[in-house]
Structure 1
């Protein structure tokens, strides 16, 4: 215990030093929001990856992989191919150029200036501010569950303590502090995950024996999961079953495609000085995600085999039914004692790197994109942004206190899907299609957001059952709850909202833009200058 506390103190000393360094180098709004647009490509890539890969990925999705098995590797593939290669090569360069041409500091401002629309800027900023605390709460929950198991400290204490630590350097240091600490924390994460997968395979006698053992355990899959369609940890799920829909529509599709519209990631494209830096960042980012997301999905699934050997139980049984505790219990009970300390720091790194970015983007969205559009003020923008970050932190803390167990992965998938449906068409078409109009962007964003929320409240069973609005209004958990079991209507309860909302949003964007009057020619030329 003493070793863990001393090591943690050294880690936080390094974090505070980097936060202080960011504070010393922050002199204006551009430094505070975009790190002066001169970030090293390694720092940018590590910050991008560390922001993407948080405790929601490692603790939350690692637990999901322990329950569903190897099909989660499709999500790992999409995070690397779509989240790094497609995002940086095809979106990153144009985002950087357009952001520089239009002098944009935030993702909502980029959309607002592209379409010359205050509504687009304030609406997108409002979505980010109101809903990113849910995602941030999932990340905060993940690290607090880890410390609860590792250090034996009360969950509620850790919520307050970790939030306070993060607040100190995010509020004062801005984007430079966030990105410096992200790069440091991402390096720790990658090193720990590399050892984790190596030692896991060592305990199971190698790669082939490990997967053969896991395959032979399919009869131990819990009955509830078998009824939902899961065949085994390596066999996947039966096509068209409820859990097949959960895996491939919510987890793989919702998160794997939704990553393209993540504002806290897109804004990083505007922090580098040239396209060359983005090209160099692709390799760093891909390696980082391979060492983190891919590793934890494999280890999560294989934890079942190791737990069975040591304790005669599978992972979900070892964690008492709470998915968010599977990886922490695995680390504490299976891995060497020194590693549990190192991994705890890696989880601090994962949580703090993502949370700092979430607090930053949520605060600047409120201060720069909502309040400055709705109620323009001449007050110093840095101070206003700091107040916005404080509001985001408080909202996150409240959500983390209220969210139920086994929520980390679900809350993450919810935010990714919602932002994908609301932002992705306006964002991609705004970069690549001159015919995309202001009206098309407005209706697409409002339509995608509305359909996503309605599907979540009245069709998608997980959220509809938890929120209870459909039950209160119509007397049933979902609108299709009375459909014949196994029918297409019945299975809609497990189809992620983004599967419906994103095509609707794309269709609205194209149709309305074709029917509406084009943007002023001079504004189009400004947007495309040097892109």
Structure 2
């Protein structure tokens, strides 16, 4: 290990991040600056911040590791990420969100919903839900970064997790959203270049695109019998249609994460940081290219890592990660181990910074969203006190959010990164997406309909997680304790159908039905909401 080179790379990175965080702090003068960047963020900064917030260690380490086991079937996810997460999100949702947020003076996602439907309940309930549910996603991102630091620097996972969290806390608490977005744009640029080199170098090591893909295609007979039994057909094939693995990949990973991006509070608020639709139009191409490279590379490299380990050690990727702690291997260690084994030393240090950037950009936005949820959406709404004091409460909320994420990072099991991400995305889709989409595009949506949709989506999703979806129901053990069964419905495919496919339709239908049965919003309020839209 070249300690001098490593220290130089990390020092330069931290100095730039520190400067950008300081710049955000210096230009943050009011709550609007702290929460939506003063609504004057440059389109490049907005697009890269959006992409960096979305693409984290959960995507690179977590889902990249999943691709190391399940193969390139995950490449459908980048397609949805770009089509739904960028094109539809920016062009259709983003423009209306920006304008409506400006019309109503909304500074957070829950506040936008609250003012659209004239309901304080929606604001504080949504804020509380975000604060309580997001820590598992934040912990998953923290774990991804700490695992790479552990593998690269040879320090303990626990120390890596703690030190990394303290660094993030420093600039998120002080700089607000401006500090977060400035650092996001810088970090996303590092990520983009790092992922391009990683893809190029991987194909070079394996003899080119055709040779590499053909090699992992021929690994099908080597795949674990347990995976074959649940529908695995090879690293370059989709799983068997209707199998357990097919439902897991399609419903939880591809659809759950691919559509959940539309209702991510930390992403929606980005639309409210630019001053016009022109900035959003300019951001589409930037965001699309970035997400395509970042996600596509991690999934391809994850699958191709099998060829590298087979050529060098005679085993597949998951077997190469086996340790005393994880005798059967740890999916979260596949990408870190591959980088450290296959890449040149100088790139390992640069990629360490890229991965730190990915984690820091996402975590800073998550912690900022959690803090504003407590300060703006819960504290202000319940107490009626507005102004500077809520910024102090927001900063305290951010500190609590970081502490919770660190504690979860220590106690959650291995292989949790992708699962934790999919779980949070699915919950947001079920709880928020129906009322968010209908609130933007259907004027007839009522306060009562929105509240009913929010509650039905939230609690039907939780019910499915606790009693129906095997991945969560079995570890929780509540169904087993109450009913003597691991899941209430054991016949295929229900134990493997992601809760979002059940909870989202329920929430959507309930919102529409209750809206049709209740009094329509006043014309004056709708005119205010939809002015200029």
TM-score w.r.t. length of structure 1: 0.98
Aligned to 1:425: 434
- Displacement after TM superposition at 1:89 (Å): 0.3
Query: Which of the residues 149, 152, 156 maps onto 1:150?
Result: 152
Distance apart, 1:376 and its partner CA? 2.5
Between 167-176 and 381-390, report the one with greater CA deviation: 381-390
Structure 1 position 15, deviation (Å): 0.6
Alpha-carbon separation, structure 2, partners of 1:433 and 1:399: 39
SS at match of 2:233: strand
Residue in structure 2 matched with residue 160 of structure 1 by the alignment: 162
**Correspondence 1:322 to 2:322:** no
Does structure 1 conserve the Cα–Cα contact (< 8 Å) formed by 2:374 and 2:393? no
SS in 2 for 1:167: helix
Question: Is contact 2:45-2:185 (8 Å) kept?
Answer: yes
Match of 2:355 in 1: 347
Q: 2:339 aligns with which of 312, 315, 331?
A: 331
Specify the SS of the correspondent of 2:492.
Answer: helix
Q: Residue by residue, what CA displacement relative to the aligned partner does 1:42-72 show, whole Å, maximum 9, x if unpaired?
A: 0000000000000000000000011111110
The residue number in structure 2 matching 1:79 is 81
CA RMSD between the two structures: 0.9
Looking at structure 2, the residues matched to 291 and 238 of structure 1 have their Cα atoms a distance apart, in angstroms, of 28
Secondary structure, aligned partner of 1:273: coil
Shift of 1:336: 1.1
Aligned pairs for 1:168-187 within 5 A: 168-187=170-189
- Name the counterpart of 1:485: none
Q: Measure the CA separation in 1 of the matches of 2:286 and 2:435.
A: 28
Distance 1:493 1:517 in 2: 39
Q: CA deviation at 1:476?
A: 2.2
2:381 is matched with which residue? 373
**Contact 2:139/2:406 (CA < 8 Å) preserved in 1?**
yes
Please state how far the C-alpha of 1:338 moved relative to its aligned partner: 1.1
User: Using the alignment, how far apart are the partners of 1:100 and 1:13 within structure 2?
Assistant: 35
Partner of 2:494: 492
1:195 aligns with 2:204: no
The CA distance in 1 between the partners of 2:76 and 2:196, in whole Å, is 20
The counterpart of 1:362, out of the listed 367, 370, 373, is 370
CA distance in 2, matches of 1:291, 1:74: 14
Match of 2:464 among 455, 458, 461: 455
Answer whether contact 2:6 2:349 (CA < 8 A) is retained.
Answer: yes
Q: Structure 1, residues 462-482: CA drift from partner, whole Å, max 9, x if none?
A: 11111111111112211124x
Deviations 1:431-461 (A, max 9, x none): 1100011011000010011111000001111
Counterpart position of 2:488: 479
Give structure 1 regions of 4+ aligned residues with deviation exceeding 6 angstroms: none
Could you tell me how far 1:377 is from its partner in structure 2? 2.5
Q: 1:412 aligns with which of 421, 430, 433?
A: 421
Q: Distance in 2 between matches of 1:331 and 1:5?
A: 19
1:219 partnered with 2:228: no
SS of 2:505's equivalent in the other structure is helix
* 1:65 counterpart = 2:67: yes
Kindly indicate whether residue 506 of structure 2 is the aligned counterpart of residue 504 of structure 1. Answer: yes
Q: Does the aligned pair in 1 maintain the 2:380–2:390 contact within 8 Å?
A: no
Q: Deviations over 1:191-222 (max 9, x none)?
A: 00001111111111111111111111111111
1:490 aligned counterpart, secondary structure: coil
Q: Quote how far apart the aligned CAs of 1:401 are.
A: 1.5
Q: Is residue 434 of structure 1 aligned with residue 437 of structure 2?
A: no
Partner Cα distance (1:292, 1:141) in 2: 19
The whole-number CA distance in structure 1 between the counterparts of 2:256 and 2:398 is 27
TM-superposed deviation, 1:391: 1.7
Q: SS state of the match for residue 519, structure 2?
A: coil
| 5+ long unaligned stretches in structure 1 | 482-488
Match of 1:32 among 11, 19, 34: 34
Deviations 1:142-162 (Å, cap 9, x if unpaired)? 000000100011111111111
The match for 1:51 is 53
1:484 alignment partner in structure 2: none
**SS at 1:232 equivalent:** coil
Q: Which residue of 2 aligns with 1:387?
A: 396
Deviation at 1:371, TM superposition (A): 1.5
Deviation at 1:333, TM superposition (A): 0.6
Aligned counterparts of 2:169 and 2:213: Cα–Cα separation in 1? 43
User: Which runs of no fewer than 5 residues in structure 2 stay unpaired?
Assistant: 323-328
What TM-score do you get using the length of structure 2 for normalisation?
0.97
* SS of match in other structure, 2:163: helix
Maintained 8 Å contact 2:20/2:179: yes
Q: Check if 1:209 corresponds to 2:218.
A: no
Shift of 1:381: 2.5
Query: For the residues of structure 2 that align with 1:193 and 1:54, how far apart are their CA atoms?
Result: 12
1: distance between equivalents of 2:360 and 2:419? 20
Q: Which stretch has the larger CA shift, 388-397 or 288-297?
A: 388-397
